[in-house]
Structure 1
C-alpha cells in the first residue's frame, strides 16, 4: 500500500517521531513541500491527519473526499467517528487504541461509512507522530477502499487474502470471513467457534535447523490442518507458526473440543524431514465462542488468543477454552490502560483526584504531615482502587505521567493552603520505579514547585523499599540530588519483602515508613513485635524520622507507647480525607 511516509519495505511498522520528520513541519522533511503536496493530492489512498490531544481532524486529502464523499471543510475539527459505522463493537476500538499506545501503529480492516450512509470495507493503517521529547502530537490514518476496487490503474491486484508461504488464507481473509460469519450469526442466532493455535517449539526449530527447514515444517503442518478441518471451515495462517480456524457451523463446545483434541493428536506426531531427521512438536490451541466470549470481530480473536496463551502457560500439547473470569479481568485491564491513555492525552486528569491522609504524633495528636493518595472515579467502572490501576499504569509505561500529575496537583494544593492557613504540614507523594529512569525528573520537580510558588521542603518524596533495592545505584544517585535540592526522602513500605536493613546507611533518607502488614504481624506475634522494636531503635540511632502505617486500634497504638518519638498513620486517627474535610484540621493550626 502506498504511504506518504517513506519506509523500507522490509521494515516492521513503527511509531514515527516528529523529528522523523513530521508532516506538520514539512520544511524539515528531506523532500520538499511540493513533492509532499503532490503525494497527498494524487495518492489513491485516503489520508487523514488528527491532533493527538484533541482527536480532531486537521487535514484530509482528495482521495479521502473521493472515497467518503465528505469535503475537507465538512470534516475539519470533527473526530474520525464521523465516518465510523456500527459494524464494530467497543472491544474492536479498545484493542485498536491499546495497540496504538503500545507500538505507535495499527493496521487492519475497518468497516466505515460514507457521507451517503453506505458502509464500505477499508484497509486502514494508523501511525503516531511524536515530537523530539517523545510526546505524541498527531496521528496519520492511511486507508484503502477494499469494496470500491481491488485493482489499480495498471490492473495490478492491490490486496490479497493469501499467505504466500503456506497458500492458506491470511489474517485479512480471517477478518473478512469473521465479519460475514458474525453478520450471519446475528441474523440466525447460531454460535461461531474460533481457534487460535501454534505448532510449538518453532523458534527453537528455526534456531537449530535454520529458516529453510522451518518453512518446510510450516508447509507440512498447513497441509495437515487442511486435511483435518471441514471444507466449510476457514483456515488461515496468522503469523509465524500461528494459525486460526473459523468454524461457521457445529460450533458447540463438544464439537470444538473434539476437533481440537484431534488436531493436537495429529500435529504432535513426529515429522520426518528430507534429511531423515525427526522433529517433534507441542501444539497449543485456544478456543473462543461467539456470543459467549465476545460479540465482535476483534473481541473474538482477542479471546481466542488469550485462551491460546493460557494453554501454553499450562504446559502445551493441550487446548483451552476461554476462562471468562480471567478474560474479563484482561479486558478490564485493557479498558483501564486505554482510559489512562485517554485521560492524559485528551481530558488531562478527568476523574482523577487526590485525598490526603494525616500522619499524627501520638503524644499530642498533632498532624505532622499529609500523604497524597490518588483516587480515580472511572466513567464506566466506577471508583477504582489504586491497587488496581497503578500496576496497569506501570505495565503500560504511564506511571511517570501519573506521578507527575499527582505532584503538580499536590504542589498547587499546598500553595492554596498556604494562602489561607498560617501553618501547613509537609505533603508526601509517592514515586514509581520508572521515575528513576527519567533523567529530567529532578529538574522537572524543581521547576514544578517553583511554578506553584512553594519551597522544596514542603514536599516529601516516598520511594518503596522494592524500588530502592532493585534500582539501587540509579536510586541513590537521584535521591542524593533531590535531597540536595531541599526535598525530604522517605523509604516507604519497609518490611514488605526486600530487607533493606543492612543498606539503610547507604541511602540519603530522612524518614522510614513501616508497612501496615508489619504492624499487623507485630500486634499478633511476639517475635514480630521484638523485631519491630529493634528496627525502631536502629532507625532512631541513625537519626531518621519514623512513621508506622496501619494503626487502626488502640491496642496497636499501645504497643508503640514505649518506642519514643514517632508518627503514626492509619484509621485510628484519620482515614484519607478530601480537601474540604481537611479544612477544620488545618484551621486548628496543624504544623510540620
Structure 2
C-alpha cells in the first residue's frame, strides 16, 4: 500500500486503473474484517498508550467481557495475579526493543477463573516509525492443558489413597520454593507416618492394612487447609506441604492437631480396633534448607528424630524451637482444659499488699495469678499469659480471675470491715468485648460486693494501643463505681497525654523507675516530677518495686503515696493474706 500511494502521488492514474485499486483495497479491508470477526483466537487492539480500541467475538467468548466492557480499558482488565511485576517488566522491555513478544500467560476471565493462554503481541507503526497500535492475539490453552492433565493424572496420583504421590510433591515444591523466594515467605514441610501399621498387616492382613491407610488419608485430607499439598510418599509415610502460614507456631498447631486425629482408635469392618502412634517431622524453608532436596531430607531427618524420641510426637529440625513449642502447647492445652472443665487445680490467687509508708497502714491488695502445671511445675505469668493471649484464652482467663476475686472479697468483707481496695489486672483483649462492663457489674452484684471495692489496672501500652475503645469502656466502668489505675507507667509509650485523656483514679509507677532513681540523679528528678504531676492531677500514686530501705528513703519527701514491693511484702497466698488482715484488724 505504501508503494501504491507513493506512485499515485507522482502521476494521475487512468480512471479504470484507479477503480481497480480502490476495489482491491476495499476487498482487502473486507477480508481483514472477516478474519477479525471469525477468528478462533482472541484479538485485542490497543492504541499506543495501551487503551483497548477493539476486541473480536472470540475475545468476548473466551474472557466473558463484551466489547462494550473492554473498549476504553487496559489489558489489566484480564490480568491474573499469577505473574510478578518483573514478568510484565520483561515483556515490555522486549516489546520496546523488538516490537514483538510471545509466550504463555495466565489471564483471568470475567468470572474470576484463571486460564492459560498463548499470547503474541505485535507493534504497528506509521511511516515515521512511531507506534500507533499494538495487536494481541491469544490462544486458549485450557483444553490442551486438560488433555495433558488427564495423561499425567496417573503419574501424579497414588492409586491406593487417591492422594498425590512423591512426583506431585516434587513438582509442587518447585513452585512453592520459587514463590517463597519471590515473596520472601516461608514454606513448611511435614513428613509423617501413621505408626504401627506393620503389626496390622501381620496380624490382620494387607487388605485391612490398606483400609487403615485409606481411612487415615481421608482424615489427613479433611484436617489440612485447601491450599496445602498432601501426598503419600511410600508405605504409611505421608507429607504435607504448607505453601503459606508456615510460621513455627502454626506448623506446631497443625502437627499437634494431626497427632490427635491420627492417634484416635480406628474401628475396622470386622470390629477390630486399631490404635496407632503417629510421628511427625517438620522442616521450614529457608531456615532449615535452601532447596527442595535438602528440605525433604531435613523433614525426613526430623521425622526420624520424632520416632526415636518415642513416637506420638512431632519434631522440628531446630531442637530448641521444638522444645519451646511443645512447652507452649502443653501450657495452652492445660489452660484450655482448666477453663472448659471448671477444674481450677494448679491455679491460685496471690495478693501483694500495698502500704502507706507514713502510717504503715495497709492501703490495698494487688491480685496476682500463680499456676503450677501438673508436668511442667510452676509456670511464670510472664510465660503463660502470652500463651493465653495468642491462643484466644486470655478473655476467659481474666474473667475466671475476676470471678474468684469477687468471691474472695465477699468472703473477706464479712470478717474484715476495713478491707482495703483489691486491684485486678485487665488484659488488652477485654477491650474488644462489648459485654465486659455489663458482665463485670453482674459479677459484682452476684458476689454481693460494691464496685468501689475493686480497682481495675490497665497497662499504659494497652491504653495507647486501644485508645478509643479504652476511653469509652473505662469511662463506663468508672461511672459504675469501679476505680481505674494506669499500670506500669513509664514502660510503654510514656505518653503524658494519656493522664488527661483517660478516666483515671490512680497512677502506678513501674519498678524500673525506682531502680534507676536509686542509681541516677536525673532518674530521681524525673520520678519526683512525675509524682508532683500526679498530685496536681489529683491522681493517687503507687510506686512499685520498693525492695530496699534506701529506696523507701528516697520517697520520704514525695508526699502522700503508696508503695508496693518486697521491702514490705512479697505476694501472699490466700491463707497468709487472711492472717495479715486478721493481724491488722482494728
TM-score, structure 2 normalization: 0.53
CA contact (8 A) 1:197 1:286 kept: no
3-state SS of 1:423 partner: coil
Superposed displacement of residue 579, structure 1: 1.4
Q: Against the structure 1 CA distance between its residues 549 and 199, is the aligned structure 2 distance closer, same or farther, given a 3 Å change threshold?
A: closer
1:447 aligns with 2:449: no
Q: Indicate the residue corresponding to 2:232 in structure 1.
A: 173
Superposed displacement of residue 354, structure 1: 0.1
3-state SS of 1:505 partner: helix
- What is the RMSD of the two structures over their aligned residues, measured on CA atoms? 4.1
Superposed displacement of residue 338, structure 1: 1.2
1:522 aligns with 2:535: no
1:338 aligns with 2:333: yes
Superposed displacement of residue 334, structure 1: 1.1
Q: Against the structure 1 CA distance between its residues 365 and 109, is the aligned structure 2 distance closer, same or farther, given a 3 Å change threshold?
A: same
Q: Against the structure 1 CA distance between its residues 575 and 146, is the aligned structure 2 distance closer, same or farther, given a 3 Å change threshold?
A: same
CA contact (8 A) 2:352 2:365 kept: yes
Q: Against the structure 1 CA distance between its residues 197 and 417, is the aligned structure 2 distance closer, same or farther, given a 3 Å change threshold?
A: same
Of 313, 323, 331 in structure 2, the residue corresponding to residue 299 of structure 1 is: 313
Superposed displacement of residue 541, structure 1: 0.3
Of 431, 443, 447 in structure 2, the residue corresponding to residue 436 of structure 1 is: 431
Higher normalized contact order (CA 8 Å, seq sep 6+, divided by chain length): 1
CA contact (8 A) 1:175 1:297 kept: no
Alignment of 1:528-547 (within 5 A): 528-547=523-542
Distance 2:311 2:230 in 1: 12
Q: Indicate the residue corresponding to 2:271 in structure 1.
A: none
Bigger helix share = 2
1:488 aligns with 2:483: yes
1:359 aligns with 2:354: yes
Q: Indicate the residue corresponding to 1:185 in structure 2.
A: none
Alignment of 1:148-163 (within 5 A): 148=211
When Rg is computed on C-alpha atoms for both structures, the one with the higher figure is 2
Distance 1:459 1:582 in 2: 17
Q: Indicate the residue corresponding to 2:61 in structure 1.
A: none
1:391 aligns with 2:386: yes
Superposed displacement of residue 497, structure 1: 2.5
Task: Could you tell me which runs of 5 or more consecutive residues in structure 2 were left unpaired when the two chains were aligned.
Answer: 1-191, 222-227, 247-280
Of 471, 495, 501 in structure 2, the residue corresponding to residue 500 of structure 1 is: 495
3-state SS of 2:515 partner: helix
Alignment of 1:44-443 (within 5 A): 147-148=210-211, 171=230, 173-174=232-233, 177-178=236-237, 263=292, 288-289=301-302, 292=305, 295=309, 299-300=313-314, 303-304=315-316, 322-443=317-438
CA contact (8 A) 2:355 2:563 kept: yes
Superposed displacement of residue 262, structure 1: 7.0
Aligned residues: 348
TM-score, structure 1 normalization: 0.52
Distance 2:542 2:522 in 1: 20
3-state SS of 2:372 partner: strand
Distance 2:243 2:370 in 1: 45
3-state SS of 2:402 partner: helix
3-state SS of 1:289 partner: helix
CA contact (8 A) 1:414 1:454 kept: yes
- The more displaced of 324-333 and 473-482 is 324-333
1:568 aligns with 2:563: yes
Distance 2:299 2:234 in 1: 17
Q: Against the structure 1 CA distance between its residues 579 and 173, is the aligned structure 2 distance closer, same or farther, given a 3 Å change threshold?
A: same
Which digits, 9 at most, give the CA deviation of each residue in 1:458-515, with x for residues without a partner?
1100000000000011000000000000000000011112112122101100001001
